[in-house]
Amino acid sequence: MEYSVLGKTNFWVSKLGLGGAPLGGDFGGTTDEEAFRVLDAALDLGINFIDTAPLYGAGESERRIGQGLKGKRDRVILATKAVVRGVPYTYDNTIKSVKESLKRLQTDYIDLIQLHELESVDYEAAMEGTVAAFLDLKREGIVRAIGVNAGKIELLLPFVRDGIVDTIQTFGRYTPMDYTAKAELLPLARAKNIGVIHGSPLGMGLLTDRPAPFLAKYPDILEEAANRKQQLEFLHRGEPNGLVEPAMRFSLTCPDIAVTLTGTTSVQSLTRNASYCDGIGLTPEDEARVLSLFPGKKLL
């Protein structure tokens, strides 16, 4: 397992982190026992960064992680988010959300609290409500670091520029078919020493043979993804889902990404993804070719 420092948090984190959405059943039914097996396997593999949210499984992901980490809490950097989609991002709602997360996670502190889905709130409201609450919680020692989360890069940039947050999290923005984070977001975060967490390194499943079901509503995205996959055929490994390994290695070896998240309820899948976290990326020739194909061309 490779490790890095998560920006100015100074947290020493595994470059591969465990994403909590599948543990809440968001991608298909799962049981407590399956979740506990994955959590135990993650620790055995050297994964020490776990990222979840109250949204995942309507709290089930947090509950299972809290239960599964009993007696092992000090072995992980535990990250969650606030608030739940549809709830206003006010100061009071944020405090309430964090307190409820603490109960489900069975802990008295959270290492990293993140504003979930910047798409749901404008910058000023976020700063006056959720971020203000985060800062007070940090002063009280209830949270150790604060961050923001968004799929849209342009929503993250103001928070990076003002330097008030410790981390940012985006998803699907540093993959072989969409590396739009490379142009501005990653260099700016590096300059501000803000830790970067990257989710969905397989582009919501577009780099596998099983795209996320919700993408069926976007035939134009599926068509463009198929076109880009064809252009990436030179990376393809012989086995089914042959773009998974190069895509994982592409994100895992990016020097500006501290943590790449993998979400799964399969110990086998988790073990396979962990095997790619060995510091070996694409060949320089292949990486240069990838970066010449779609510069600045957003997919999702």
Q: Which residues are catalytic?
A: 56
Q: Which pair of tokens denotes residue 111?
A: 């290492």
The residues near 280 (Cβ < 8 Å, ≥ 6 apart) are 249, 253
Q: Which of 236, 231, 240, 233 is nearest to 292 (CA)?
A: 231
Q: Amino acid identity, residue 4?
A: S
Tell me how crowded residue 196 is: count the other CB atoms within 10 A of its CB: 26
Please answer whether residues 118 and 149 qualify as being in contact, where contact means their C-beta atoms are separated by less than 8 angstroms: yes
Sign of CA dihedral 240, 243, 246, 248: negative
Tell me the Cα Rg of the chain: 18
